[in-house]
Amino acid sequence: MRVDQLLNKLCLIKTRSIAKKACDKNLVKINGKSAKASANVANGDIIEYSLYGYRNLLKIIEVPTGNVSKTNAPKFYQFLEREKLEIEY
């Protein structure tokens, strides 16, 4: 599954277009490498993204098939780290 679709289906990013733009701006990494929106995600991959004022690091336990409800979404990933970003003005 594409990384932009996955982030949207698991309710981590509000819309797929926001996920795509985050990938275009190099805010999303898969296993430590910058990811394009079309990059495929596999079970066990580590995804890092910086959005909404936080840097999130998570491990994909299982890539979902089909739609995922908001209550079932956390079963597919495990948060490894969540850090508030310091915003400079």
Contact 3, 34 (CB under 8 A): no
- pLDDT value of residue 56: 94
Contact 43, 6 (CB under 8 A): no
**Would you say residue 89 has pLDDT above 80?**
no
Note the pLDDT tens digit of each residue in 3-52: 999 999 999 999 999 999 999 999 999 999 999 999 999 999 999 999 98
Distance between CA 22 and CA 44 in Å, rounded?
21
The pTM score is: 0.87
- All domains of the chain, ordered by start, with CATH? 3-84 (3.10.290.10)
Can you tell me whether residue 34 is helix, strand or coil? Answer: strand
Distance between CA 23 and CA 39 in Å, rounded?
10
Give the β-pairing of 77-84 and 54-60: antiparallel
